[in-house]
């Protein structure tokens, strides 16, 4: 913090307890000061940390209209510059938003003992310094020893290493428009979790809607830690389903039919250990008592479920056996287009994992759900089968070390209940004004200024905020350690590839 960049001064009734201005000392220092830069000055309470939120360049020479008129009317402005050296009148002002008071043993000490709130303004005349990487990392809450390496700060290139417990101890959201880098960022997170040497990483279950992560299985360094499960071979175990479970996936079943179904399931459990929907149908067809038309309708609902080819006598994959610490299960839904079937599968997986975690039958886990707005939509009239369990995990999962990561390109369409429980958010480029407004309403930390900056982020840039970090920061996401062999191609190249395929 020895690098002095300016001096605090009085400007427009500042400094106060929330902001202070400073004059950037020399022209050569201007390159060191940018919007979003972290700076520090000594105050009555300790060392005051702040972030540059605005930079102004003023020139008294060009503040008078008559002077500018004379400058414009003169055919040789160099003469005026000789008589009136305008560059000597120019100076830069940085407006700093106060973030907190740090208590250090010495200004050169990098260990922060405590962070307090400000109750007294910065002192005019005080020197302003750039903050060293060590102090900045400590102030923002980075874990330089064992943290997950995500990237670097946009304004200072300080390495961003996030504490796993702070990031995943509560829930996480990755939000951005299509093509902004959500999947890329998720790949970086997965790389870090699978490569962690701390031994404290959770099991990871990734709902891969478009098959974007299956390339990880081909990486020699990671393949032993990854299982790819295709949705085509997925099967729900009928014997662990009760009557209410059937009604959840087939809500046309009436209350009377529900009682009838429950009665026959209890009978079937006593005579047969492994059974499927056809076995239940057979019991119903053999029944002579009760309302025949109601029973036939129930058989019709069960046959419809059977035709989905999702239900069988046993579970596949056997979740209890494949969910292991620091292992990644990729559930590939690329071949499935039926939204109802996808919701049934996600509902079953979430319900089973959450139940087993509550019973301590599986290790703590991170459940990553791509296209989360498909499985937990906000619309009041929506009957998304998987919505209820996702909201339940969002509300209660933290108590059982069941962490949820929701990825969505439409925050507006994502369940407000689920969104409000995402304690940490990684927000990439979002341009839709309704989505931005929804984010602002769901989090007080996202101001209008932040929303404007979010809409102008480039690919690979993000805003990180929430429980994972002490203060919101903008980050450049690091390069993937294991990029896919088949990189993304553009439309024209895809057309050429198809033509070559047709020729041969």
Q: Which tokens belong to 491?
A: 């439309």
Backbone dihedral region of 315: left (phi > 0), alpha (psi from -120 to 50 degrees) or beta? beta
Candidate from 147-151, 208-212, 492-496 with smallest mean pLDDT: 492-496
From the list 404, 392, 371, the residue with the least C-alpha distance to 209 is 371
Q: Are 35 and 50 in contact (CB under 8 A)?
A: no
Contacts of 457 (CB under 8 A, 6+ apart): 180, 428, 429, 463, 474
Measured between alpha carbons, how far is 153 from 346 in angstroms, rounded to an integer? 36
Gap between the Cα atoms of 474 and 463, Å rounded: 4
Task: Answer yes or no: are the C-beta atoms of 190 and 206 closer than 8 Å.
Answer: yes
- Cis (ω within 30 of 0) for the bond into 60? no
CA 130 to chain centroid, in Å, comes to 30
Q: Can you list the domains of the chain with their CATH numbers?
A: 4-140 (no CATH), 160-234+316-489 (3.40.50.300), 237-307 (no CATH)
Give me the mean pLDDT over the 382-386 stretch.
Answer: 82
Residue of 442 and 106 predicted with greater confidence:
442
Residue 383 confidence (pLDDT) above 80 = no
The model scores a pTM over 0.85: yes
The pLDDT of residue 351 is: 95
d(C-alpha 20, C-alpha 400), whole Å: 44
Tell whether the model's pLDDT for residue 458 goes beyond 80.
yes
- pLDDT digits over 96-146, tens only? 999 999 886 555 556 676 788 889 999 999 999 998 888 899 899 999 888
- Say what percent of the chain tops pLDDT 90: 54
**pLDDT value at residue 363:** 95
Residues 6 or more apart whose Cβ sits within 8 Å of residue 493: none
- Judge whether residue 79 has pLDDT over 70: no
Nearest to 198 by CA among 159, 150, 143: 143
């Amino acid at each position: 913090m020895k690098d002095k960049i300016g001096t605090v001064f009085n400007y427009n009734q500042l400094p106060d307890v929330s902001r202070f201005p400073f004059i950037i000392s020399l022209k050569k220092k201007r390159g060191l000061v940018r919007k979003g830069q972290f700076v520090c000055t000594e105050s009555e309470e300790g060392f005051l940390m702040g972030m540059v939120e605005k930079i102004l360049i003023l020139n008294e020479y060009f503040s008078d209209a008559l002077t500018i008129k004379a400058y414009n009317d003169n055919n040789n402005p160099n003469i005026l510059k000789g008589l009136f050296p305008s560059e000597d009148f120019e100076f830069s002002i940085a407006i700093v938003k106060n973030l907190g008071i740090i208590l250090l043993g010495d200004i050169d000490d990098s260990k922060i003992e405590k962070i307090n709130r400000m109750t007294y303004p910065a002192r005019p005349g005080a020197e302003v310094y750039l903050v060293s990487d060590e102090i900045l990392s400590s102030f923002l809450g980075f874990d330089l020893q064992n943290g997950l390496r995500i990237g670097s700060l946009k304004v200072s290139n300080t390495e961003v290493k996030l504490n796993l417990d702070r990031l995943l101890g509560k829930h996480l959201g990755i939000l951005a428009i299509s093509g902004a880098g959500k999947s890329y960022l998720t790949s970086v997170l997965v790389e870090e979790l699978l490569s962690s040497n701390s031994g404290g990483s959770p099991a990871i279950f990734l709902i891969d809607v478009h098959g974007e992560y299956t390339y990880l299985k081909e990486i020699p360094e990671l393949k032993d830690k990854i299982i790819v499960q295709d949705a085509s071979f997925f099967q729900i175990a009928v014997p662990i389903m009760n009557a209410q479970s059937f009604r959840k996936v087939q809500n046309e079943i009436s209350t009377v039919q529900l009682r009838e179904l429950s009665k026959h399931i209890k009978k079937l459990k006593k005579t047969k250990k492994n059974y499927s929907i056809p076995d239940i149908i057979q019991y119903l067809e053999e029944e002579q008592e009760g309302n025949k038309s109601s029973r036939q309708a129930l058989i019709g609902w069960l046959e419809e479920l059977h035709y989905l080819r999702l239900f069988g006598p046993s579970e596949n994959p056997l979740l209890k056996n494949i969910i292991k610490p620091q292992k990644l299960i990729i559930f590939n839904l690329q071949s499935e287009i039926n939204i109802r079937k996808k919701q049934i599968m996600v509902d079953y997986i979430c319900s089973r994992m959450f139940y087993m975690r509550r019973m301590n039958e599986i290790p703590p886990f991170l459940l990553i759900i791509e296209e989360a707005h498909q499985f937990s939509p906000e619309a009041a009239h929506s009957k998304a089968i998987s919505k209820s369990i996702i909201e339940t995990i969002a509300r209660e999962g933290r108590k059982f070390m069941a962490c949820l990561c929701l990825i969505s390109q439409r925050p507006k369409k994502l369940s407000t209940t689920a969104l409000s429980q995402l304690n940490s958010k990684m927000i990439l480029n979002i341009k839709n004004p309704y989505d931005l407004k929804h984010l602002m309403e769901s989090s007080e930390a996202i101001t209008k200024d932040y929303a404007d900056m979010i809409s102008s982020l480039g690919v690979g840039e993000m805003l990180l905020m929430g429980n994972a970090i002490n203060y919101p920061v903008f980050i450049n996401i690091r390069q993937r350690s294991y990029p896919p062999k088949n990189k993304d191609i553009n439309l024209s190249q895809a057309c050429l590839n198809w033509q070559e395929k047709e020729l041969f």
